[in-house]
């Protein structure tokens, strides 16, 4: 089976790896490069503590388990299970968050000020209480996508970079390839994993994928000595330290709930403000930011992932925010569908809420999910 995967971000890379592992002849194409879009500009937090509803929690929790399955198949050096300390809420709000997660079966511990200080001694003014999510982790995002692509190529996949997908070619009611400037790359199946760039490709074959405009800015500091062990979710700022010593942080004070549809302030000034917040929490560390990157986060209109077959026979898609958390499971589930492999009842339950068909009525018109 010949499969073309459009997009070499972490989702496309994971799908390509699982397809190649399943025996498909895989070609990955991307108009820019591996992890050149939202993937390489992502915070990289792997978690299920932030979720939209119970079904979304189960999807994220299962994808955390999928990371551990993946580690048994390939070198996952870009992934570290650091745990997370979270004190975005306080008082009754913190208690409710802990109770809700415990009811879902998630590992959470409420720690006091002394326990927090012992775990993160460089953070000033430790909170009286915080939530500890020890099972959570981080990925160095671009290296993760590269590792998945390299593993796929080790299984026979091919990679075309700087080659723009212009459309999905069909013959009758089935896909037959992907059109590029020089012609058509033939395919028995096509998987669109192009983030926000997926919209036009899918629209060309009558598949609606309404997306929200969600720009995000991420800063990286100059490297410093190791000062953080966990992902930190503080009131008004999330931050972590990467393996090179850089402090990584969104410039948005409330990254998880950021609903801004455009960036109206200068990125350098937003970075300065975020760095001031970080410096106040890490007063012993001389911080300066080196880089700010902007990306359009691929957020479908209802905020939830889109995964599965759609449109002409043989066309599949996988587009979502929180791609770093969801990549290994999305790869498993989407590849199984492409390869016509039966899903278990559990897998069907996981993927069922995220079918692309939820954005279309019987006439192919877009539902207005926000009205």
Distance CA 244, CA 190 (A): 37
pLDDT (0 to 100) of residue 367:
40
pTM for the whole structure: 0.95
Domains and CATH numbers, the chain: 2-44+141-212+301-359 (3.50.50.60), 81-136+215-296 (3.30.9.10)
Q: Could you tell me if residue 47 is left (phi over 0), alpha (psi between -120 and 50 degrees) or otherwise beta?
A: beta
Block means of pLDDT (10 residues each) for the chain, 371 residues, are 98 98 98 97 97 97 98 97 97 98 98 98 98 98 98 98 98 98 98 97 97 96 98 97 98 73 94 97 97 96 97 98 97 98 97 95 42 27
Nearest to 10 by CA among 338, 310, 319: 319
The 10 Å Cβ neighbour count of residue 309 is 18
Q: Are 177 and 162 in contact (CB under 8 A)?
A: no
| pLDDT tens profile 109-140 | 999 999 999 999 999 999 999 999 999 999 99
Q: Are 244 and 226 in contact (CB under 8 A)?
A: no
pLDDT (0 to 100) of residue 364:
45
3-class DSSP assignment, residue 151:
helix
Task: List b or e across 42-67, with b for residues whose CB sees 16 or more CB atoms inside 10 angstroms.
Answer: bbbbbbbbbbeeeebbbbbbbbbebb
Q: What are phi and psi of 263, to 5 degrees?
A: -95, 115
pLDDT (0 to 100) of residue 180:
98
pLDDT (0 to 100) of residue 369:
35
Q: What's the mean per-residue pLDDT of the chain? A: 95
pLDDT (0 to 100) of residue 254:
66
pLDDT (0 to 100) of residue 342:
96
Q: Are 142 and 30 in contact (CB under 8 A)?
A: no
């Amino acid at each position: 089976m010949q499969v073309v995967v459009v997009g070499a971000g972490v989702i496309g890379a994971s799908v390509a790896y699982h397809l190649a592992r399943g025996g498909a002849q895989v070609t990955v194409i991307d108009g820019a490069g591996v992890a050149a879009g939202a993937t390489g500009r992502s915070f990289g937090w792997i978690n299920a503590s932030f979720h939209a509803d119970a079904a979304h929690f189960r999807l994220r929790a299962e994808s955390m388990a999928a990371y551990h399955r993946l580690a048994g198949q390939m070198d996952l050096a870009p992934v570290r299970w650091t745990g997370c300390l979270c004190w975005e809420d306080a008082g009754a709000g913190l208690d409710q968050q802990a109770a809700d997660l415990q009811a879902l079966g998630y590992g959470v511990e409420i720690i006091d000020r002394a326990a927090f200080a012992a775990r993160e001694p460089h953070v000033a003014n430790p909170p009286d209480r915080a939530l500890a999510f020890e099972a959570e982790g981080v990925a160095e995002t671009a290296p993760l996508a590269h590792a998945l692509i390299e593993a796929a190529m080790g299984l026979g996949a091919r990679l075309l970079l700087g080659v723009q997908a212009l459309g999905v070619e069909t013959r009758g009611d089935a896909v037959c390839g992907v059109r590029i400037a020089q012609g058509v790359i033939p395919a028995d199946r096509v998987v669109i994993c192009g983030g926000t760039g997926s919209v036009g490709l899918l629209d060309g074959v009558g598949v609606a994928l309404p997306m929200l405009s969600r720009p995000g800015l991420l800063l990286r500091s100059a490297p410093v000595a190791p000062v953080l062990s966990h992902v930190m979710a503080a009131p008004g700022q999330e931050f972590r330290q990467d393996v090179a010593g850089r402090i990584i942080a969104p410039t948005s004070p409330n990254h998880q709930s950021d609903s801004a549809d455009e960036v109206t302030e200068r990125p350098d000034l937003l970075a300065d403000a975020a760095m001031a917040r970080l410096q106040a929490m890490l007063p012993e560390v001389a911080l300066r930011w080196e880089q700010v990157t902007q990306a359009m986060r691929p957020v479908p209109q209802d905020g939830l992932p889109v995964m599965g077959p759609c449109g002409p026979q043989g066309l599949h898609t996988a587009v979502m925010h929180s791609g770093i958390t969801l990549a290994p499971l999305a790869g498993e589930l989407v590849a199984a569908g492409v390869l016509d492999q039966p899903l278990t009842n559990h897998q069907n339950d996981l993927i069922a809420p995220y079918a692309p068909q939820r954005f279309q009525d019987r006439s192919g018109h877009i539902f207005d999910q926000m009205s």
